[in-house]
Amino acid sequence: MLKLEKKQIKLITLAVAAVFILGTVGVAIGQYGTSQASAAANTSKVGVVNHQMLVSQHPDMAKAQEAMQAEVAQAKKDFDEKSANMNDKEQQDYYLQLQQRLNLKQQELIAPVFDKVDAAIKAVADSKGLSIVLDKGNVVYGGQDITDEVVKKFSGK
């Protein structure tokens, strides 16, 4: 077994005590910083929203999705009818043409929904005095979540 002198034992004891005290002080400072950060988050001028959820729950989104499904069904019908007498290259070109048409139609149908959601977000942010609103997926910590208030704004409640 290792024999230690009294002086070495005292030094080791002091080192262990110092590490313990520094660790305790570090935890205390961390807790203080966290409480300050949460207090700052409550008075923050930064808002956060779940933008994807807002868009999917907007009342006009269901209408846009129905119209898009009808457009897809029509494109499939057009492709089946017109591609029967085409070679592979012509079918591929026609398919790409229909795909572009569907993409444009989707943008046309969904853009107004995005505009309405963004307008509702802006109205809520203005009423709360928020200077910036970020998507919740881009925020690690903090900010004032206004998602529920935006839903109420565009649902008329």
State the CATH number of the domain containing residue 66. 3.30.910.20
Tell me, what's the pLDDT at 1? Answer: 45
Same domain, 36 and 62: no
Distance between CA atoms of residues 34 and 49, nearest Å: 22
pLDDT (tens place) for every residue of the chain, 157 residues total: 455 566 666 667 766 666 667 666 566 666 655 444 444 455 568 999 988 888 888 888 889 889 989 988 888 888 888 878 888 888 888 888 888 988 898 899 889 998 999 999 999 999 989 989 998 888 888 888 998 999 888 776 5
Same domain, 93 and 28: no
Same domain, 26 and 61: no
Distance between CA atoms of residues 31 and 59, nearest Å: 43
Same domain, 103 and 37: no
Count of the separate structural domains present in the chain: 2
- Residue with the two structure tokens 């209408």: 63
Structural domain span for residue 20: 1-43
